[in-house]
Each structure stands twice: as C-alpha cells, then as structure tokens.
Chain A
C-alpha cells in the first residue's frame, strides 16, 4: 500500500462493509419472497389488468406485499395513479 492509498482509504467504507450491506438487503428481500404463496405473482398481474381497464398504469405502479403475523395475513396493495391533467 503506497502512501497515497493510506490517505485515500481513511473515509471510504471498506469493501467488506459494502458487501455486508448489500447482502443484508438482498437476503432480506429474498427471504420475504420465499414465504409468499405461489399464486401471488399471477394475482398481482390480474389486479393490474383490472385497474388498467380504467386507468393507464404500468406494472411497476402496483406493489403487492403479503405480511404474515401470528394469527392473520395482511395483503397490502399499493397503486400509484398517474397525475391527472
């Protein structure tokens, strides 16, 4: 390690901590998907199709999430409608 590297590395986070942060995010995301029922993607598509009959939205404007607590499951549906002119 040269003398310039020594000064440079003071502020930047280490590559290992970047790796850890990235892993924590992706692993949490994949775990939440792991426990979702198989029908969820198709149901999401059908809901989008129904809304599209009335409003012009893209598939990324609808977010569906299923949260399981001890005795009940909550299906959260988030639709971003386009701005009205």
Chain B
C-alpha cells in the first residue's frame, strides 16, 4: 500500500513546492519508490524546482484524459534513484482535475510506488481540496508569521472535514507541522513567533523547522532540491524532517542564534 502525503498550507509562497521536492527526494534517498505530483493546475512549478522542466512532454491532466499513459507522463529524476515527477498541466481549465480522474491516477500509482507526495496549490478552493482529498498524511507548511499560521489552521479544518477519510469516518489524516523560513535571531529578539508559539496555536505534532537559508534560493536557481545540499542547514533540517517522518527520533537543531566571531563581525559577514 502506498502512503499518500499532501504538502499543503493554505497561504501561498510559504515553501510548499520547495518542501515537496526536498521531502520527496529525501524519502527516495532512503530507498522508497516515490512520486511527487504537482497539483497546481495552470501554474506548473515543481518541474523547475526539480530541474526537469525541459523534459516535460505529458502531464497530469493528459493522463486523466487518457491522452497519455502514466509511464509516458512520469519523469524519472536524473539524480535520485527511485524518484519520479508527475508535472502539472498548464491548462487554464480549472475543472481539468476531477475527483474520479485523480482517484484513478492515484490508484494506478499506488500499485508501483511506496510514497505519493501531492504538492498542493495555494488557497482553500477546489484545487487544494483535490490535492488533500485522498491523503493519509498531511504536511502543513507554515511560516512563523500571522497570516500563514491562520491559513494553516483553516487548512487543518478542511483536512478534518472535507477529506475522504473525514467523509467516510475513517481514521483521520495524520497532520504534521513543518515550520519554514525560521529566523532564530529574530525569534530571540522577540520579532518573530517561536516554534513553541506556533505549536501552541496549531496544536499538531512538529515534523521539522527549516531555518531561513540562502541555500534554498540557490538550490531553486539551479533546479536541485535543497535536501541534496548537505552543506546547508536547510538541507540538513529537511533530512531530519524526513527521518522523523519515517519514525526516527531526531533532535531539533539550528534553532539557536549563531554567534558571529569578531573577525566575521568586523567584515560585516
């Protein structure tokens, strides 16, 4: 049985696609056959973050409409074994995804894959609801900032009422908090909500905290998931999050303010 994990947030621009790419890659690195699906119909972006934009021929909607087979549309990642990407369609037709079509594709994928990562579009409308409908687990990507936290709470409400598991009265979706763009220095000076503040408000288990890092932009510039940058704090923090997702214990790190050395301060680094 494949495990379906939705990466969602409500608010846009908090790091859903970056996180989907990183976590999908991390799970595949552990030897599980993984596919990441871009649910953002109309605004395809996962392919760019994964660096496979020039290899897109067919997409998710083509498969649903039976214009292409799944194996034609799936893109095999060149760097990571056991990792595939199913790109979003760029059609402007908002109703291109149907619940029956999505269900059929997920059932087909479940025959071959261990993990199916659904990269949700922003918002709480149909597209986001489609991405989370069949999920077994949800990673709620949140920035330590008021509007993001509020929107995360809204999406938690939708996970608890509008998902297949909720509608059928089954075991609820597992919910995990992934706090991204965390700035320990600003938290220390009282300018930013802390991990425990956000945990208090949302009251769901913490999967990880990704520090604000230059490595994230650098990785997206290059089309490489940031988790492959094991020199960067963000990459290591994502790896920790994947380990926790797999049930391993990992202490939180990169939450302390790093003291700059005298020379570094002098040079303004």
Contact = CB atoms under 8 A, between A and B. Distances in A.
Interface of A: 14-17, 19-20, 22-24, 26-27, 30-31, 34
B11 to A, nearest CB: 13
Interface residues of B, number: 18
A22 B157 contact: no
A27 B153 contact: yes
Contact of B190 (A15, A26, A31, A34): A15
A20 to B, nearest CB: 5
Interface stretch (B33-41, B73-81, B192-200, B205-213): B192-200
B157 A34 contact: yes
B187 A31 contact: no
Given A16-B197, A20-B201, A27 B191 contact: no
Contacts of B189: 14
6 contacts: A16-B190, A19-B197, A22-B146, A23-B149, A23-B193, A30-B150
B154 A17 contact: no
A20 B200 CA distance: 9
B201 A23 contact: yes
Given A14-B190, A24-B201, A27-B201, A19 B153 contact: no
A24 B197 CA distance: 10
Contacts of B197: 16, 19-20
Contacts of B149: 23, 27
The 9 closest A-B pairs by CB, nearest first: A14-B190, A20-B197, A34-B157, A27-B153, A16-B190, A19-B146, A23-B201, A16-B193, A23-B149
